[in-house]
Amino acid sequence: MCFLAAGNTVVDALLSVAPRARGVDLSFADGKRLMLMTAHRRENFGAPMEEVFVAVRELADRFADLAVLYPVHPNPNVKEPAERILGGHPRIRLVAPLDYEPFVAAMSASYLVLTDSGGVQEEAPALGKPVLVLRNETERPEAVDAGVVRLVGPVRERIVGAVAELLTDANAYRAMARGVSPYGDGHAAGRIVDVLRGDLR
């Protein structure tokens, strides 16, 4: 009950770091709309992961103003197909996994986020970034219900269609990029402290 009333402290941490976050080279994306991607879940290894990468390559080929930053997980089940399918494209940058502050900087600079990460589903909406989830289900349905996260699964047609809509339909983009997080407003820690102080009196 306290959690529901207070919010999630992960949003507190995010919003405290975001204004000063640095440390990621985004020069390759100058003048472009940046799509930040994370994809590493074991359930997507094999054909689903390849389908995701084919979709991203198709989008980069189709939209000349789209740049993609992908911090690649070192697992060979991720790294090998990522390099094979996405490598060599001038507007797709494959990098090593990022520390928290550079990752927040990249998230803050992004136009949209494509991910299978749970934490990113909580964080990116608080920064006003639409999130497309590379899964068919999520443990964070509140963000889906709020309209700031959308499930697309590891399915090429759905990924391409959803990203294309956000890139070409300003109303669809605005509907998701509202800076609304169902997980908190950056003041959860203060509320928790207030509750604990009250309980300890």
For 87-132, the pLDDT digits (tens) are 999 999 999 999 999 999 999 999 999 999 988 998 999 899 999 9
Q: What is the CATH number of the domain that holds 65?
A: 3.40.50.2000
Handedness of CA 163, 53, 131, 16 (dihedral sign): negative
- Collapsing DSSP to helix, strand or coil, 95 comes out as strand
Task: Count CB-CB contacts under 10 A for residue 190.
Answer: 12
Joined tokens for residue 68: 């993609």
Ranges of H-type helices in 31-117 = 47-62, 76-86, 100-109
Indicate whether this model's pTM tops 0.75: yes
Tokens of 198: 């009250």
Strands 92-95 and 112-115: unpaired
Q: List, in order, residues 6 or more apart from 140 with CB less than 8 Å away.
A: 118, 121, 122, 149, 183
Average pLDDT over residues 21-47: 94
Q: How many domains does the chain have?
A: 1
Provide the domain limits for residue 119.
2-200
Q: What is the largest CA-CA distance in the chain?
A: 62
